[in-house]
Amino acid sequence: MIIRRLKKIRELRIKLVHIWSYIRLCNIAKETITKYGNLYATFSTVPNYMLSDADVYSVEDLENVQKGELFRTIAPLVQYGQYHIEGCEHCCAQAFVCELCDEKNDLLFPFQVAYVDRCEECGSLSHKKCAIKRQKDEKPCPKCLRIRQNL
């Protein structure tokens, strides 16, 4: 049970770090009001280390995982942050397009961990399904190729 909770919290923490990287730069987020108050301000309810590193936990955090409190704190931030980013013109301007299929109508964000794949070498994003096909076909990452060609 606790292992399952820790895995879920780690997934939420990864999303939280990526979401914060968008929210902190978005002037619209600073004016957005959610059920919990100002979107930008709600992120100040968690310690700074949670917004910058998904793998740093205090002893209190681990106790709160067991109690379910950490989930109740982080889940709304992730939910409202993701909702804002995917619908915000400013945030969408910083989204990624799949390096493999180039589908411009399906913007990718690093917090979509179940849906996207990130190249470990160059950091580019692609749909998981596209990345699986590329790996199956034993093709290199197109962005990595471009980078190597420009060196």
Side-chain-facing half-sphere of 129: CA atoms under 13 Å: 3
Share the mean pLDDT of the chain.
Answer: 93
**What is the band of 1 on the pLDDT scale with cuts at 50, 70, 90?**
confident
Q: Which two tokens stand for residue 32?
A: 């957005």
Report yes or no on whether pTM surpasses 0.85.
Answer: yes
Amino acid occupying residue 97: V
CB-based contacts of 112, cutoff 8 Å, min separation 6: none
Of residues 144, 149, 146, 148, the one with CA closest to residue 131? 144
pLDDT at 36: 82
| Per-domain boundaries in the chain | 2-92, 96-151
For residue 151, pLDDT over 90 is answered with no
For residue 37, pLDDT over 90 is answered with no
pLDDT at 2: 81
Report pLDDT digits (tens) over 70-104.
999 999 999 999 999 999 999 999 999 998 998 88
Q: Where are the alpha helices (DSSP H) in the chain?
A: 2-23, 39-42, 48-52, 59-67, 69-87, 89-92, 128-136, 142-149
